[in-house]
Amino acid sequence: MKAALILAGLLAIFWALTLWKAARHEARARASHPPLGGFVTVGRARLHLLQAGAGPDIVLIHGASGNMRDFTHDLMGRLTDRYRVTVLDRPGLGHSDRLDRDGASIFEQADCLIDALGQIGVTQALVLGHSYGGAVALAMATRHPKHVAGLILLAAASNPWTTPLSRYYRVLSHPVGQWLAAPLLTAWVPDRVVTDAIAQIFAPQPIPPGYAQHIGAGLSLQRRALRENALQRAALLPEIVQMLPDYASLDLPVEILHGDQDTTVGLAIHSEPLARQIRGATLCVMTGVGHAPHHADPTRVVAAIERASDRARLRQGASGHNVKACNIPCRAAGHISARAIGRVIGHEDT
């Protein structure tokens, strides 16, 4: 009995220390990487948004585990001379609140973002989504077509895959993992582990200079961010299956960019089928590029944005402007060669 009491006491001390370290880690992360923009309220949740520039509206949506700083590091600054650019932290990530405690679906996020954007005067925009953010962008277009002028999808999760959910996400999305694992990770995992994970995502390209310091790895290790990200990721496959039939009804400019060395979201599993499923979509395969096209070759991404913008203006009856040349293969849906699906790893967004 005495041994059991001692053990219980030690466990209580360890758990109290864990909660203290977790809170301290979160406070340091928020202090070192404070909000870059302002907040709007949707329901009970505050969403963190930043807007800059002037011109047609474009909205940039980040992927899993990330935040708006993925775009403020480089891409946003390349666009503000001719677009009004809005970046945001998706619900539960970065400095944005969670919408609820069961994980915001891509459909709930789409509705939330349309509401938040409307509050800051963005009623119709080009929408760029990276990775998981690409699924949210597709949900915005299928659910709110009047508000989306065109899509630019970067290594977007868009089609069903067969690989099982990783053990990390299985544990962290489980109710016990939500309660127990998240505080342990926040308290005891150093930020350099996140940086190592980032390196795997960028491969075969190196992490851009200054990116690891800019992104704020500690923000991804907040307890609410870990919980929300795991629930979102665990629910993504059935949500994409649900959305799949809606692709055929999309009638807007769609530019798809995907690296052929992406081992996070497989080109043959996601973007090649998507280009066939959306009428008039254009697929640009980026040779030698991994999961971060906007960092590997931002000029090509900007060119795709220009093409989508030009096509959207033509559809609206406005005069277009000169479009930058695309220096990579741009293939219409009917001209995509088949690839061996087994060669590419299915979606395991991190």
Asked whether residue 205 is assigned to any structural domain, the reply reads yes
CB under 8 Å to 203, separation ≥6 — which residues? 261, 263, 290
Asked whether residue 317 is assigned to any structural domain, the reply reads yes
Asked whether residue 92 is assigned to any structural domain, the reply reads yes
Q: Residue written as tokens 């109710």? A: 175
Asked whether residue 2 is assigned to any structural domain, the reply reads no
Asked whether residue 180 is assigned to any structural domain, the reply reads yes
Position with higher pLDDT, 70 vs 346:
70
Q: What are the pLDDT digits (tens) for 41-78? A: 999 999 999 999 999 999 999 999 999 999 999 999 99
94 sits in the region (left: phi over 0; alpha: psi -120 to 50; else beta) called left
Report the C-alpha gap between 280 and 162 in whole angstroms: 27
Q: What are the pLDDT digits (tens) for 73-130? A: 999 999 999 999 999 999 999 999 999 999 999 999 999 999 999 999 999 999 999 9
Percent over 90 (pLDDT), the chain: 84
Domain containing 182 equals: 36-335
Q: Is residue 326 pLDDT above 50, yes or no?
A: no
Q: Is residue 339 pLDDT above 60, yes or no?
A: no
What total number of domains does the chain contain?
1
Asked whether residue 5 is assigned to any structural domain, the reply reads no
Asked whether residue 13 is assigned to any structural domain, the reply reads no
Closest CA to 120 of 79, 146, 70, 84: 84
What is the pTM (predicted TM-score) of this model?
0.89
How confident is residue 11, by pLDDT bands cut at 50, 70 and 90? very high
How confident is residue 192, by pLDDT bands cut at 50, 70 and 90? confident
How confident is residue 314, by pLDDT bands cut at 50, 70 and 90? low
Asked whether residue 1 is assigned to any structural domain, the reply reads no
CATH code at 252? 3.40.50.1820
